[in-house]
Structure formats: C-alpha cells, structure tokens
Amino acid sequence: MTYLVQLVIILLLTKLGAHVSNLLKFPSVIGELLVGVLAGPAVLHLLAPTTFIQYFSEFGVIILMFIAGLEGDLGLLMRYWRPALTVATLGVIFPTASAAALCIFVFNFQWTTAIFIGLVLSATSVSISVQVLKEMHRLNSREGAIILGAAVADDIMCVILLGVCVGLFGSGASASNQSLPLMLFTKLLFFAAMFVLGKWFVPRFLQFFSKLTASENETTAALILCFGFAALAVALGMSDVLGAYFAGLAISETKFKDKLALKIEPIGYAVFIPVFFVSIGLNISFAGMQGDLAFIIALIVIAVLGKQIGGALGARLFHLDWPAANIVGAGMISRGEMALVVANVALSSHLIDQNHYTAMIIVTVVTTIIAPFVLKIFIQQSDKQKANSMKLNEVKQ
C-alpha cells in the first residue's frame, strides 16, 4: 500500500502548497514544486523518486501539454512562426555557447565535455511555463504563441545538435546507434504524420466515438488520441509531450473543443499533474554537492540569463516591446525532459562523468523552479505598463 500513501501525501501537500502560494501572490505551481523539494530527499524525506511516481508524473506532463494544445489557437501559432523560430535559435546559441566557454576557460573542462554541458542547457521545456501562462490568462496571447512555437523548434534543434555531437565525439552504443540522416527523416515524418492525422483522422475519430452509446465516449476518444499521439512521437524520436500537444491542437480545431476541455482538465489537475510538479522537486538532493557548488551556481546563472537574453532579443527583432519580449525570454527558461535526455546520452557516451551528470540534474531542476517566478514578474510588469498607458491615454483625452 506504499504507493497509496505516497499519492495521499502528494495530493494533500500540493493543494496546501498551492493555497499558500496563491495567498503569497505566487503562481500555484511554485507551491507544488516546492512541496517536492521540502517533502523529498533534500529536506524531510517523506517522499522519494519511485517507479510509481515516475509513471504518474509522465501521465501528468502528457495531460498538461494535451490541455495546452486543447486550449491553443493554431492560427495564432502559424501567425508567429518566424519570431518563434528566431527565439528558439538565439535561445539555443546563448546558453550553449556561454556554458561551453565557462567550462573551458574557467573550470578547465575538455572541450567535448563542455559542448555537451552547453547542450544540456540549450533544451527548453515549457510545461511549467504553460501552467503560469494559463493561470495569468496569457496562453493564447502573442507571447504565449511565440513561446509554444519556439519550444517546438527548440526541441528539434536540440535533437539535431545532439545527434551531430554524439556522432562526432561519442563512444559506445549510444554513438554507434545514432544516424543523423535517419534522425532528420523521422523528425520530418513526425510533423507530416501530425499534419495528416490532425487534419483528417482526428475529426472523424471523434465524430465516430460521439455516436457510440457507451458513457463518456468523447472523453475516452480524446485520451486515446492524447496517448496515441504521444506514443507515436516517442516512436519517431520526439518528446511524448510534443505528440500530446499536437493531439490537443488538432482537437482544438473541431467542434468538440470546449466540451472536452471541461472534461479533461479535472482528470489532469485532480490527480496526475500535481504528481508531475512534485516529481521535479524530488530530484533535488544537496548531498555531496559542496565541491561542485561554484560550478552549479555558475551554470544556473548562465541557464537563466542565456534563455532570458536570447529569447528576449529574438522577440525584439520582431518589434515586440521590452515587457512582451521579456515574457517570451522568461517563458523559455524552464528545463525539463529534453535536458535530462541530453544529460543521459552524454553520460552513456562517456562525455560527462557521474558527478557532472548529478550537477546537471540539479541545474535542470533549479532552473525549472526559478522559471515561474521570473515569468510572473515580467507578466506583472507588462500588465502594469499597459495599465499606466491606458490611464495616460484617458488623461490625454
């Protein structure tokens, strides 16, 4: 019954943590993330990463990104694809180059190791940012569209760079099994499959299920599409959350959108999504990190500033004002599953050792916890500037 006790503790503490966070005017996700840190191995040892929590958290992030797609606006995403691509490119270049330079010139790493550490910092996961954008009603804004589009492009760039670097510098099975042309082909196949399935299969599939006489037909159909698209994404070498996001986006173009959003959100937010947020904090452990403390702090600073500056400059190139550009930059700060994938590949290819791998996990988790704070600050600044501008216009009139 241990897993039931774990689930009870997580659900109880996340709701209390979210409540306290809201009272302090922070996004509720902050409280849920900190529950993982405080209740986990870092502090109280009430919870520990287990297979059960891992699987539940995987469902949580898949459903979270499915909901983001379900509430998304495909037209808005297509409209801002150019700034999204620019934001993604600069958001990869700035942290990767800065981290590699730091490792080579300050900490005297081999340049191959330095490049892989930089690559870990290039990856973005917007799962946390999506939650903050939803809470602050910015998910379907111009900034939200650019952040989501940039995250997709960022994922592809990171995979391509990973394949190139492992092929050139790696050793062992991980290197020998990588084929860059094959990787590129599967990525293109993924997007072709998402387009074809989203346009022609998804509406017909939902229509068919809506005519069945069983209970909750359409909700079940939506979950089948969510998990099916996620599985297809993994099979084609992409992140499962990317597949789930596109499944939601495809449904958002159908007449079932509003009804399904009301059905899916309670499933996700009542059980699975809180476990995902807690699982991030559970990966934090302060044991044995004293010797790498300076290295970890320096990487955290670069990880935050690299994405913030790169993303904001990319947005400014397309004439967003600084408050809006800073929101875009902050939305790209969070790291997640892709960073962990890069770190795992680097470890298995003998390009980083176990100590540096642990340091990268800590950097990934800490930046993910920092990201919602930074994003909320910039959203509040933007809202304040808009309010002041409106007052000024009223005075002039």
HEC assignment per residue over 5-56: HHHHHHHHHHHHHHHHHHHCCCCHHHHHHHHHHHHCCCCCCCCCCCHHHHHH
- What pLDDT is stored for residue 176 in this prediction? 42
The answer to whether residue 342 scores a pLDDT higher than 90 is no
Among 135-139, 144-148, 217-221, whose mean pLDDT is lowest? 135-139
The string of DSSP codes covering 149-178 is HHHHHHHHHHHHHHHHHHHHH--SHHHHT-
pLDDT band per the 50, 70, 90 thresholds, residue 173: very low
- What pLDDT is stored for residue 35 in this prediction? 92
Mean pLDDT over all residues of the chain? 86
pLDDT band per the 50, 70, 90 thresholds, residue 282: confident
- Calpha distance 276→208 (Å, rounded): 32
Q: Higher model confidence: residue 2 or residue 337?
A: 2
The answer to whether residue 325 scores a pLDDT higher than 50 is yes
Q: What is the pLDDT of residues 10-45, one digit of tens each?
A: 999 999 999 998 898 777 888 888 899 899 988 899
Residue type, 188: L
- Calpha distance 218→254 (Å, rounded): 12
- What pLDDT is stored for residue 395 in this prediction? 75
The answer to whether residue 159 scores a pLDDT higher than 50 is yes
- The CATH class that applies to domain 60-271+290-385 reads mainly alpha
Nearest to 132 by CA among 217, 223, 236, 30: 30
